[in-house]
Structure 1
Amino acid sequence: MNFKEIEQTLTKEFSKTLRDKTIKAIKEFQMIEKGDKIAVCISGGKDSILLAKLLQNYQKYSGIDFSLIFLAMDGGYSKNVREHIEQNAKVLNIPVEFFETDVLRIISNHSAKHPCFLCAKMRRGYLYSEAQKRGCNKIALGHHYDDAIETVLLSIIYGGQIQAMLPKLKSKNYQNMELIRPLYFVREKDVTNWVNTCELTFLPCGCPVSEKKDDTKRAEIKKLIASLSALNPQIEANILNAVKNVDVDKVLGWRIGKSEFHSFLDKFNS
């Protein structure tokens, strides 16, 4: 499939499942405003590449005056991984700017219990920094609906707390910088269908640690959600709705960020 045919898929057969859902998230969560300069973060995987194409499409047709750049962090990729990302970007007309770090070396020498979490945290810091240097006020990541619901269960089952992957947030360490997730309502299966239709190929992230591991906590949660969904098709929607409809009068305790913990007894005894 050539470049023009791939772009047409977003306005034809994948309009409802990909483009419309992305526009819905952008508008509902007020992600993009006039004058924004957004760094679209390209990991080299299918989600970030699709995000780049959808934001290019939105920039073209939305009528909102904003600008895009496309940042890719080379954290120590092998030559073939780097070349594959460059080739995909070229085919899809995505003008990617690479910058180098040594994240993969650090992770491979680190004894962290959850290396993928540490890697994601480090990568985000580098991306914020590079985006800010280039005059951006926002970074866009390719997390989708499935990532969001998996995060809810991860926080409950392995973290002992209730947390959501928010569609947008303000950086605590980089002044006036925000993070947005325009694919928030997009399903992973629809991303995969688009990739297969467009005959695109993607390589693993190239991390020497993740390649040694047969599984991750997120993969375990993905399997759990699939098994629960076989019993109740509403499971996935209910997981996300659960963090939209929290009744603080019916929880044992809560806090905002790192603020003081509040117990239901505070109000009960007053």
Structure 2
Amino acid sequence: MNAATETIALTEAEKKQQYNFNKLTKWLRHGVGDAINDFNMIEEGDKVMVCLSGGKDSYTMLDILMGLQRSAPINFSIVAVNLDQKQPGFPEHVLPEYLKALGVEYHIIEEDTYSIVKRVVPEGKTTCGLCSRLRRGILYRVADELGATKIALGHHREDILETLFLNMFYGGKMKSMPPKLVSDDGKHVVIRPLAYCREKDIVRYAEARQFPIIPCNLCGSQPNLQREVVGQMIKDWDKRFPGRIESMFRAMQNVVPSHLADTRLYDFKNAKADGIAREDGDKAFDRDQFSEPGRINILASKPDGDAQDSGCGDF
């Protein structure tokens, strides 16, 4: 192969790479846009506090939101916030340099939660629970100080499914992380714009954009964390049964209270035969139609039939 042929081949490879990246970008923007529209996450005049940890998810969330901000039919502002927890060896210069170059308003909040966690949690025990609670309290306080109307977290589709299974397996609850919620004190609205986005797409996007990833070393080596076990289970299912993850996430959007067992969500006690046909009636004698996992389309359909990319993050 001569030099001219090599140049042409390289150009074709670059074109293909750019095409694939553009397609991935549109895919993620579509997923984030759908989540924002479906849950009314961002409204006219909102100030969105984007929580950055330095991980792939929060970088991607900020990048996609900034792109949507330029083309959205509404006006909203973005402020990036990073919580420096004073972990030993934390590269304090990375995020300020990146955000300054990006031209986005940002704040680095310095709070020594690392020392608190290490002092309170016994050696060998999981630090995630306390660390998460401390972070949440600080972020709520900062949102008040900055006048932020929405707090954006980088949790993606697999994070949401992991939380569902963790609550089912270990907590006895049918509960997960919703794409949008109001804090316990009623003062803050938390949104998860990546709720429909797949982790593997975020990984590819972060690699292509070459984000300066900062690993979280606070937890150290905790290989038996329940979330890690559940996460591995989901990854295994995704490899062996393509489409299963999409089907599971779609199930979270198609809840039928009358066919579960929570008396707080459905009035089973007063259910009586009154001769009136109903949509939530007994289907026990109907033959359910199930798709084979491998035959489920990779796009999870909404209840209204539209297709969407179903896709958590570092905070």
Q: Secondary structure at the match of 2:220?
A: coil
Aligned-pair distance for 1:215? 3.6
1:111 corresponds to which of 109, 112, 121: 121
State how 1:23-38 maps to structure 2 within 5 Å: 23-38=33-48
Alignment partners' CA distance in 2, 1:186 and 1:241: 13
List alignment gaps of at least 5 residues for structure 1. 1-7, 257-261
Alignment partners' CA distance in 1, 2:256 and 2:186: 32
CA contact under 8 A between 2:79 and 2:104: conserved in structure 1? no
Aligned-pair distance for 1:22? 0.9
| 1:161 aligned onto 2:173 | yes
RMSD of aligned alpha carbons: 2.6
Per the alignment, residue 56 of structure 2 pairs with 46
Alignment partners' CA distance in 2, 1:133 and 1:10: 41
The Cα offsets for residues 210-239 of structure 1, whole Å up to 9 and x where unpaired, read as 113224211111111122234422221222
Per the alignment, residue 78 of structure 1 pairs with 88
Q: Secondary structure at the match of 2:108?
A: strand
1:131 corresponds to which of 136, 143, 148: 143
Q: Which moved more, 1:238-247 or 1:50-59?
A: 238-247
Letter in 1 for 2:200: K
Per the alignment, residue 5 of structure 1 pairs with none
Aligned-pair distance for 1:65? 1.3
Alignment partners' CA distance in 1, 2:45 and 2:186: 19
CA contact under 8 A between 1:129 and 1:174: conserved in structure 2? no
CA contact under 8 A between 2:152 and 2:193: conserved in structure 1? yes
TM-score when normalising by structure 2: 0.73
Aligned-pair distance for 1:179? 0.5
Alignment partners' CA distance in 2, 1:229 and 1:67: 37
1:21 corresponds to which of 31, 37, 43: 31
CA contact under 8 A between 2:55 and 2:215: conserved in structure 1? yes
Alignment partners' CA distance in 2, 1:183 and 1:35: 21
The Cα offsets for residues 2-38 of structure 1, whole Å up to 9 and x where unpaired, read as xxxxxx9998242332111111111111111101111
- Percent of pairs with identical residues: 31
Aligned-pair distance for 1:254? 4.8
Per the alignment, residue 214 of structure 1 pairs with 223
Per the alignment, residue 58 of structure 1 pairs with 68
Q: Secondary structure at the match of 1:81?
A: coil
TM-score when normalising by structure 1: 0.84
Per the alignment, residue 184 of structure 1 pairs with 195
Alignment partners' CA distance in 1, 2:82 and 2:129: 19
Per the alignment, residue 259 of structure 1 pairs with none
Aligned-pair distance for 1:124? 1.6
Aligned-pair distance for 1:97? 0.7
Tell me the matched-pair count.
254
Aligned-pair distance for 1:79? 4.8
1:96 corresponds to which of 95, 101, 106: 106
List alignment gaps of at least 5 residues for structure 2. 1-17, 274-315
CA contact under 8 A between 2:160 and 2:195: conserved in structure 1? yes
Per the alignment, residue 290 of structure 2 pairs with none
Alignment partners' CA distance in 2, 1:253 and 1:263: 9
